[in-house]
Amino acid sequence: MEVTFVLQDKTTRTVEAEPGWKLMEVAVDNAVPGIDGDCGGEAACATCHVYVSPQWREATGERTSDEQAMLDNTFGVREDSRLCCQITTDEELDGLIVEVVGS
């Protein structure tokens, strides 16, 4: 499957992703700028903050409670904000597009 990250300079980076990984891990493995994953995927740092494209909002599901708590204390949060360590890749997300917010 493929995932496209829209970077802070508005260029895009499309990468291959194996199903079953955290989207944050996919980004870090591919050195996507602006996704650091400092807490290792525990929804505790917000260095994996992304905005999910409208057509992918439903497929990526709801925020977890830990994620919501972190986002409540994060700058630049919008309705489409997610911590991408809380999104697991699967084939249904093939073609996913997210915008990197950065921290």
As measured in angstroms, the least distance from the Cβ of 14 to ligand FES is 21
Count of C-beta atoms within a 10 Å radius of residue 21: 16
Q: Are 39 and 47 in contact (CB under 8 A)?
A: yes
37: left (phi over 0), alpha (psi -120 to 50) or beta: left
Closest to 68 measured CA to CA, from 81, 50, 51: 81
Does residue 7 bind ligand FES (CB under 6 A)? no
Does residue 34 bind ligand FES (CB under 6 A)? no
Figure out which of the listed residues 3, 17, 23, 43 binds ligand FES, where binding follows CB under 6 A: 43
Figure out which of the listed residues 3, 17, 26, 48 binds ligand FES, where binding follows CB under 6 A: 48
Tallying the residues shown for the chain, one arrives at: 103
Does residue 71 bind ligand FES (CB under 6 A)? no
| Sequence letter at residue 7 | L
Does residue 23 bind ligand FES (CB under 6 A)? no
Binding positions for ligand FES, rule: CB under 6 A: 24, 37-39, 41-48, 70, 83, 85
